[in-house]
Structure 1
Amino acid sequence: MGIDDMALNEEELIKIRRELHKIPEIGMEEFKTQAKLLEIIKSFPQKYLKIKVWKTAILVRVVGKKPDYTIGYRTDIDGLPVVEQTRLPFSSENPGRMHACGHDIHMTVALGILSFFADNQPTVNMTFIFQPAEENASGGKQLYESGVLDEWMPDEIYAFHDNPQLPMGAIGCRQGTLFAGTCEIHARFIGESGHAAFPQYAKDMVVAGAQFVNQIQTIVSRNVDPIQAGVVTLGHFEAGKTGNVIAGTSQVDGTIRALTQEMNLLIQNRVRKVAEGVAATYECRLELDLHQGGYYPVENNAQTTAAFIEYMKKAENVNFIETRPAMTGEDFGFLLSKIPGTMFWLGVESKYSLHSEFFAPKEGAIIKGVKAMLGFLQARQNGVIVASNNK
């Protein structure tokens, strides 16, 4: 079976991508997206397929000839709360929503791969996961912990993210961590408001919040090993309503990024200690939420990634690029903490970044991504590359 034997050709894939681009939805609200995906999936030959729905997720089982091993493939399906400014003829029709992270590309590549295996029975079982809420609600963690995946649990799993900085259709990957683990910081300091002329009768939370901001800056410089990586960014500070009233509360919000879960937890611990120290110093109450959810570091499995890189380096018509770690977050990291597997980049060559209201990936990357991954998956399951389960 050749990789051109797909139910969907390039023209059809681009049409699907544009239809999906028109209907972006926020995580756990992807009802139109789910309906469109189901419509397409049900148009494929059904002989080898089994379909399961959980909330807005879709799981598709492809029954293999030797069903004693399962390879998983995951795509995310949600959009972002962004007002699209591309002026493309297939721009978002949902006000204030956009596929600004390229999940429409992700879904389309997954459908292209699935269309091939629906028509050409794989050697082993395959589980395709169309996952909601990657951007906002740890959809991968929710799905995994729901138990809906248990019956069709993969022995190894793969996924990609589009990359506007890479050439169209290029495959980027690396051993070790591809993306950082992230953790949200939400700190609220609660003191006592008062008249600006009588500070002795108040507990000033502008000062408390400001000290928290200043002290946080020492965490990476004084607690993180200089040859490792970590980021603490505070992007929101709010306190008070006017200049002559001492603020009784302050709110500080930000994010932690680290390339290992161990480092992420170290930084979280230091943020907590700093916040508690500030609260004690300024005799105020602290409400601190350090929320990581499922956004673990995307740590590629050594065996599956070695096989993936080896294949892509040797494959004809594949432009493989070894990439550096990125401080972006992705909830596929949670699934990789449970299932050995590999995440990679697919180049879409855009002058605008991910999450930009002008982001416009090159659609020629879709068929290149489908064919590169089909070649690898066939090699992987047919024994050209020996499967390795390291759970």
Structure 2
Amino acid sequence: MSNAERVDFRRDLHQHPEPAWCEYYTTARIVDALETRGIDRMLVGPEILQSGRRGVPSTSTQQEWKEQALEAGAREDIVSRLTDGQTGAMAVIENGPGPTVALRVDIDGLPITEDTTDEHRPSTAGFRSTHEGYMHACGHDGHATIGIGVLDQLLQSEFNGTVKIIFQPGEEQIVGAEPIVHAGIIDDVDYLYATHLGLDHPTGTIVAGISEFLAVSQFETSFYGSAAHAGAHPESGENAVQALAAAVQNLYAIPRHSEGATRVNVGTVSGGTATNIIPESATISGEIRGETTQLMESTETQAHQIMESAARMHDCEMEIDTMGRAPSAESDSELIETVATVAGETAQVESVVRRDSLGGSEDATHMMRHVQENGGKRRTSLSGQITLV
């Protein structure tokens, strides 16, 4: 694939952003590209995922995205393999004895409406998202293209060992990496790499390693009361919105911790049906983060206690659903030095930053921790966009 073809591939993916477990078009395009290359093995969808996935959308939602993918030209024989939203793929190259190295790239989009102004290049150049309300705002279209580009380079090189390139679904909702770990496809990995474009670093800059990943737990909590007429019989109802309001107010009152940073955010609230009806149900969704997994879990325990107490205070029932979850992790120092050295010898790289903090969360930490626990090494890097525009 030439550089121009990689640009076209990335722009095609940019036009078709898809959320977690609905990446039908994206997976089909990746698999289509992999099939034209002389790789030793390819695993698709259910072959790279363990059962028990979080955040799986309804059957009707999956069907809508599947139909859109087929209408856009995705191959039906590939889409039919992605049962129950089990998307993603893995390419394997085997060159005899040697270490097993994995590169993880993520492929999903975000529920964000893409800019339509002339200042936004995808809009003026004709590759803006075709799915209103969704876009590749985090560069995963570029990540998937990098995966194909790395594969092309490896197929032309000589090395000893095995390389696995994992095209991971569901990173944005922190739900994709964990079932890949549980599926066992990285149990034999000695060195794990993950990469991310941009993140405040200019084109031509490589950040060799990342520290201070925030552990994260995303939740959705529903409060259940009983409806009543707010004017005629207010005493007969249990107000779920009051329980919600008490929970939100006190979630933000959780004190910070002396051992490190913690974060709490409620991102969405909904509830009620009419101005004169006491709401019988209300829902919030949010997330809890911590500088370490222990700090996140401590804050999470307090958050659950607050939401349970808010429900009891207003005679309501409640249910907490953990949507996505990822631990903290650190890049390996030895691999950081390797990446920094190689990057410094690469013509297109203008500057190298050995280590930086992310200030956010990444579910690649599931893979990083798993490889480390098995005795291997892991690293996540950031880069400016060097060849893809």
Is the contact made by 2:208 and 2:337 (CA closer than 8 Å) also made in structure 1? no
Is the contact made by 1:79 and 1:98 (CA closer than 8 Å) also made in structure 2? yes
The separation in 2 between residues aligned to 1:121 and 1:42, in whole angstroms, is 21
CA RMSD of aligned residues (A): 2.8
Q: Partner of 1:68 in structure 2?
A: 98
Q: Deviations over 1:216-239 (max 9, x none)?
A: 1121xx2x3245111101122233
The separation in 1 between residues aligned to 2:31 and 2:225, in whole angstroms, is 53
Q: Partner of 1:347 in structure 2?
A: 384
Q: Partner of 1:165 in structure 2?
A: 200
The separation in 1 between residues aligned to 2:222 and 2:26, in whole angstroms, is 37
TM-score (norm 1): 0.76
- Among 22, 29, 41, which residue is 2:22 paired with? 29
**Shift in alpha-carbon separation, 1:218–1:311, aligned structure 2, 3 A:** farther
The separation in 2 between residues aligned to 1:33 and 1:79, in whole angstroms, is 10
TM-score (norm 2): 0.76
The separation in 2 between residues aligned to 1:211 and 1:31, in whole angstroms, is 40
Matched residue type, 1:32: Y
The separation in 1 between residues aligned to 2:173 and 2:210, in whole angstroms, is 27
Q: Partner of 2:161 in structure 1?
A: 124
Q: How does 1:1-391 map to 2 (within 5 A)?
A: 8-44=1-37, 46=38, 49-55=40-46, 56-65=87-96, 67-84=97-114, 85=116, 86-87=122-123, 88-94=125-131, 96-136=133-173, 138-150=175-187, 153-174=188-209, 176-177=211-212, 179-197=213-231, 198-219=233-254, 222=255, 224-226=256-258, 228-293=260-325, 295-309=326-340, 311-312=342-343, 317-321=349-353, 324-339=356-371, 340-348=377-385, 364-366=386-388
Is the contact made by 2:108 and 2:169 (CA closer than 8 Å) also made in structure 1? yes
Is the contact made by 2:173 and 2:323 (CA closer than 8 Å) also made in structure 1? no
| SS of equivalent residue, structure 2 residue 223 | strand
Shift of 1:167: 0.6
Shift of 1:291: 3.1
Shift of 1:28: 2.8
Please identify, of 104-113 and 17-26, the stretch whose mean Cα deviation from structure 2 is larger.
Answer: 17-26
5+ long unaligned stretches in structure 2? 47-86, 117-121, 372-376
The separation in 2 between residues aligned to 1:289 and 1:196, in whole angstroms, is 30
The separation in 1 between residues aligned to 2:129 and 2:220, in whole angstroms, is 32
| SS of equivalent residue, structure 2 residue 330 | strand
The separation in 1 between residues aligned to 2:159 and 2:130, in whole angstroms, is 37
| SS of equivalent residue, structure 2 residue 308 | helix
Shift of 1:307: 3.8
Shift of 1:123: 2.6
Shift of 1:324: 4.4
**Shift in alpha-carbon separation, 1:318–1:237, aligned structure 2, 3 A:** same
| SS of equivalent residue, structure 1 residue 122 | coil
5+ long unaligned stretches in structure 1? 1-7, 349-363, 368-391
The separation in 2 between residues aligned to 1:200 and 1:82, in whole angstroms, is 41
Q: Partner of 1:355 in structure 2?
A: none
Please identify, of 112-121 and 199-208, the stretch whose mean Cα deviation from structure 2 is larger.
Answer: 199-208
Shift of 1:318: 4.2
**Shift in alpha-carbon separation, 1:29–1:249, aligned structure 2, 3 A:** closer
Matched residue type, 2:107: I
Is the contact made by 2:173 and 2:324 (CA closer than 8 Å) also made in structure 1? no
Shift of 1:332: 0.9
Is the contact made by 1:33 and 1:77 (CA closer than 8 Å) also made in structure 2? yes
| SS of equivalent residue, structure 1 residue 115 | helix
Please identify, of 193-202 and 124-133, the stretch whose mean Cα deviation from structure 2 is larger.
Answer: 193-202
Q: Partner of 1:389 in structure 2?
A: none
Matched-pair identity in %? 24
Shift of 1:366: 3.7
The separation in 1 between residues aligned to 2:185 and 2:199, in whole angstroms, is 33
